[in-house]
């Protein structure tokens, strides 16, 4: 029976180590983001669940009643968890981190630890009762053990990070003729970066950061591994979770142009307040040289107000872009959006203008094009040249894709990332479609004290646009439902993929549209999107 206990526990422990390292990686090893996760319904369930409670009771039970029946009871618990693990493996639903040098080392340490535990117990020749009791104790503390492994690796990670940053900073300094452009904001930064790189590539040799390369290590690796002498422009997307984060990135990239796309409540839980979020995003503008250029979204109230009240004397060369106001340096007119494309006219204060027709989804992309166009025009491209370059923008670069669904449904895939402004924009796009409109989304995370109000706001927008909303996480479901109560639409909480799929198939007809927003379960996507 000791062999059976060992085998079951080895599988269970390995699965849990993989999960916890996956979670740390998902939160980018940021302890503030991990702590915020435990404020969510799913985060609380990791600890406050019936199985964990039973294990605690079993631990007390075996302490006071050290008999063989108790050991067999623990074996039964292990067996049940083993079955769940095997089932997850078969269904490919186990959470496994992306293998990097860091995760490989941490996972290797975790697996080595569990093998050492088993070796120690076999060497000690303990009884079945003590054997299972020890394994149970280690199992209960898996979250702590995994976190300690991550933290133990941090000194090495910090040393590697510092080395990477120094190397990248040196490479940028050596590239004397390189023009660096920083793009940051709570929303829109990825699209603006992608659009700008596509436009500028028609005239210059351009390097850009790839997806998920907006942290110091990601940007440093991009510079070290991909920057070449032929490159004339480097476009870097910059993300942060704390004050000083953007400032650190600018110390590496040394941008001469900074584009600030918009500021909202995204990641307010880690920033602490909207005021600190604004201050952090403006670190990009503060870092620009005297002869640099700040490109700001005039339509964003937080940016416009901050510029007027706090940065009026600090920023000398500023260009504003806007979808709504001719007070900006570059603006859009005659915007026309349909379900498959956008057309609009861009005008500039110097009299330059051009018509644009792009295969992009949603009028919000006009603003993203404007941000990129303002920069490209400053670098010598005419609006006509920019318009022609924009025709080659891949619709997938906007972060939202229209896919063919089963039963002739239209599936709008926006699962890359999510923020409050983005969701509102995607719901506005849904208005263009006839038939029933459904949104499937989890509650947003890391919004801090703004969470309740933001979810109520999203709920009101959902009621304005949709016929059905399926919310896949529980923590702010009530806020969404209350916000949507302004109209009699159906708002339901469902977390099981099979139930979500069945609900959508029962509710919809051919040609209806389903918006999949943020981290929707993979099985929902794979079952709703038609296989090619």
pLDDT at 268: 86
Cα(371)–Cα(331) distance, integer angstroms = 10
**161 has pLDDT over 90:** no
pLDDT at 384: 96
Residue 388 CA, distance from chain mean position: 31
Residue 332: φ, ψ to 5°: -115, 145
520, containing H or E segment: none
Q: Would you place residue 128 in the very low, low, confident or very high pLDDT band (cuts 50, 70, 90)? A: confident
Q: Taking residues 152-177, what's their average pLDDT?
A: 91
Beta carbons of 423 and 441 less than 8 angstroms apart: yes
Give the 3-state secondary structure of residue 432: coil
Cα(3)–Cα(12) distance, integer angstroms = 14
Which range, of 285-299, 348-362, 518-532, averages the lowest pLDDT? 518-532
Beta carbons of 58 and 77 less than 8 angstroms apart: yes
* pTM confidence score: 0.86
pLDDT at 466: 96
Q: Taking residues 496-506, what's their average pLDDT?
A: 93
pLDDT at 356: 97
Q: Taking residues 25-51, what's their average pLDDT?
A: 86
Beta carbons of 161 and 217 less than 8 angstroms apart: yes
Q: Do the strands 257-260 and 179-184 form a parallel or antiparallel pair, or are they unpaired?
A: parallel
**358 has pLDDT over 80:** yes
Q: Would you place residue 104 in the very low, low, confident or very high pLDDT band (cuts 50, 70, 90)? A: very high
Cα(469)–Cα(509) distance, integer angstroms = 16
pLDDT at 523: 87
Q: Would you place residue 310 in the very low, low, confident or very high pLDDT band (cuts 50, 70, 90)? A: low
Q: Would you place residue 40 in the very low, low, confident or very high pLDDT band (cuts 50, 70, 90)? A: confident
**313 has pLDDT over 60:** no
**312 has pLDDT over 60:** no
pLDDT at 311: 59
Residue 66 CA, distance from chain mean position: 48
pLDDT at 309: 66
Beta carbons of 486 and 460 less than 8 angstroms apart: yes
**Cα angle at 15 between 11 and 18, to 5 degrees?**
140
Query: In the chain, where are the structural domains located?
Result: 2-155, 175-394, 401-528
Which range, of 58-72, 354-368, 398-412, averages the lowest pLDDT? 58-72
Give the 3-state secondary structure of residue 258: strand
pLDDT at 280: 94
Q: Tokens 């000194």 correspond to what residue? A: 155
pLDDT at 119: 92
401-528 has the same fold as 175-394: no
Q: Candidates 3.10.28.10, 2.60.120.10, 2.40.50.60, 3.90.190.20; correct CATH number of 401-528?
A: 3.90.190.20
**531 has pLDDT over 80:** no
Give the 3-state secondary structure of residue 234: strand
**315 has pLDDT over 80:** no
**283 has pLDDT over 60:** yes
pLDDT at 353: 95
pLDDT at 32: 85
Give the 3-state secondary structure of residue 159: helix
**141 has pLDDT over 90:** yes
Beta carbons of 287 and 54 less than 8 angstroms apart: no
**272 has pLDDT over 90:** no
- Report CA dihedral (424, 497, 477, 281) to the nearest 10 degrees: -40
Cα(461)–Cα(429) distance, integer angstroms = 12
Q: Which CATH architecture has domain 175-394?
A: 3-Layer(aba) Sandwich (3.40)
Where does residue 212 fall: left (phi above 0), alpha (psi -120 to 50 degrees), or beta otherwise? left
Q: Taking residues 18-34, what's their average pLDDT?
A: 90
Residues making up the chain, counted from first to last: 532
**292 has pLDDT over 70:** yes
Which range, of 30-44, 146-160, 194-208, 231-245, averages the lowest pLDDT? 30-44
Q: Would you place residue 66 in the very low, low, confident or very high pLDDT band (cuts 50, 70, 90)? A: low
CA distances from 79 to 4, 76, 83, 85, 92 (A): 9, 5, 6, 10, 20
**Sheet holding 342-348: strands in order across?**
206-208, 233-238, 179-184, 257-260, 293-297, 318-322, 330-337, 342-348, 353-358
CB atoms within 10 A of CB 68: 12
Query: Average pLDDT of the chain?
Result: 91
Question: In sequence order, what are the residues at sequence separation of 6 or more whose Cβ sits closer than 8 angstroms to the Cβ of residue 82?
Answer: 8, 11, 12
Beta carbons of 514 and 440 less than 8 angstroms apart: yes
39, containing H or E segment: none
SS3 content of the chain, % helix, strand, coil (to 5): 55, 15, 30
Question: In sequence order, what are the residues at sequence separation of 6 or more whose Cβ sits closer than 8 angstroms to the Cβ of residue 196?
Answer: 181, 183, 235, 259, 371, 372, 375, 376
Q: Do the strands 353-358 and 179-184 form a parallel or antiparallel pair, or are they unpaired?
A: unpaired
pLDDT of 190-237, one tens digit each? 999 999 999 999 999 999 999 878 899 999 999 999 999 999 999 999
Burial class (CB in 10 A: 0-12, 13-18, 19+), 309: exposed
CB atoms within 10 A of CB 192: 32
Q: Do the strands 293-297 and 410-414 form a parallel or antiparallel pair, or are they unpaired?
A: unpaired
CB atoms within 10 A of CB 525: 17
Cα(220)–Cα(163) distance, integer angstroms = 10
Higher pLDDT, 522 or 492: 492
Higher pLDDT, 437 or 39: 437
CA distances from 16 to 112, 143, 288, 480, 504 (A): 14, 8, 46, 32, 32
| Structure tokens belonging to residue 113 | 């630890």
| Structure tokens belonging to residue 461 | 């927008």
């Amino acid at each position: 029976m000791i062999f059976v206990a060992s085998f079951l526990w080895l599988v269970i422990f390995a699965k849990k180590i993989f999960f916890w390292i996956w979670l740390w990686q998902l939160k980018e090893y940021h302890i503030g983001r991990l702590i915020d996760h435990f404020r969510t319904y799913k985060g609380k369930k990791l600890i406050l669940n019936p199985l964990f409670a039973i294990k605690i009771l079993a631990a007390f039970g075996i302490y006071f009643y050290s008999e063989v029946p108790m050991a067999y009871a623990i074996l039964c618990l292990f067996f049940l968890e083993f079955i769940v693990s095997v089932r997850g493996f078969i269904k490919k639903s186990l959470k496994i981190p992306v293998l990097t040098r860091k995760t490989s080392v941490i996972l290797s340490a975790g697996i080595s630890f569990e093998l050492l535990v088993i070796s120690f117990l076999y060497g000690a020749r303990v009884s079945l009762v003590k054997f299972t009791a020890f394994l149970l104790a280690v199992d209960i503390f898996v979250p702590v053990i995994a976190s300690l492994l991550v933290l133990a690796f941090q000194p090495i990670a910090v040393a590697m990070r510092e080395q990477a940053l120094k190397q990248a900073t040196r490479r940028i300094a050596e590239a004397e003729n390189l023009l660096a452009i920083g793009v940051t904001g709570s929303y829109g930064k990825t699209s603006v970066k992608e659009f700008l790189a596509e436009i500028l590539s028609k005239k210059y040799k351009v390097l850009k950061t790839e997806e998920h390369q907006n942290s110091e290590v990601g940007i440093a690796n991009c510079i070290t591994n991909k920057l070449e002498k032929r490159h004339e422009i480097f476009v870097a997307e910059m993300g942060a979770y704390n004050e000083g984060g953007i400032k650190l990135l600018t110390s590496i990239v040394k941008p001469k142009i900074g584009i600030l796309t918009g500021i909202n409540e995204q990641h307010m839980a880690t920033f602490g307040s909207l005021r600190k979020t604004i201050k952090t995003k403006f670190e990009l503008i503060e870092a620009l040289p005297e002869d640099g250029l700040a490109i700001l979204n005039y339509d964003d109230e937080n940016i416009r107000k901050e510029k007027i009240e706090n940065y009026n004397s600090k920023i000398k060369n500023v260009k504003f872009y806007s979808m709504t106001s001719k007070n900006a340096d570059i603006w859009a007119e005659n915007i026309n959006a349909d379900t498959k494309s956008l057309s609009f006219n861009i005008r500039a204060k110097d009299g330059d203008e051009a018509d644009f027709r792009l295969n992009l989804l949603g009028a919000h992309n006009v603003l993203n094009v404007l941000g990129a166009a303002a920069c490209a025009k400053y670098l010598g491209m005419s609006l006509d040249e920019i318009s022609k370059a924009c025709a080659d923008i891949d619709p997938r670069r906007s972060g939202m894709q229209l896919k063919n669904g089963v039963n002739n449904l239209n599936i709008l895939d926006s699962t890359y990332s999510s923020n409050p402004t983005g969701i509102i924009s995607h719901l506005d796009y849904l208005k263009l479609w006839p038939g029933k409109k459904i949104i499937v989304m989890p509650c947003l995370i890391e919004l801090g004290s703004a969470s309740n109000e933001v979810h109520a706001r999203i709920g009101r927008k959902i009621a304005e646009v949709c016929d059905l909303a399926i919310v896949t996480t529980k923590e702010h479901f009530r806020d969404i439902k209350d916000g949507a109560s302004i109209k009699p639409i159906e708002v339901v909480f469902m977390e099981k993929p099979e139930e979500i799929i069945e609900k959508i198939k029962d509710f919809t007809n051919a040609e209806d549209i389903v918006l999949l927003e943020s981290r929707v379960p993979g099985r929902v996507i794979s079952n709703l999107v038609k296989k090619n």
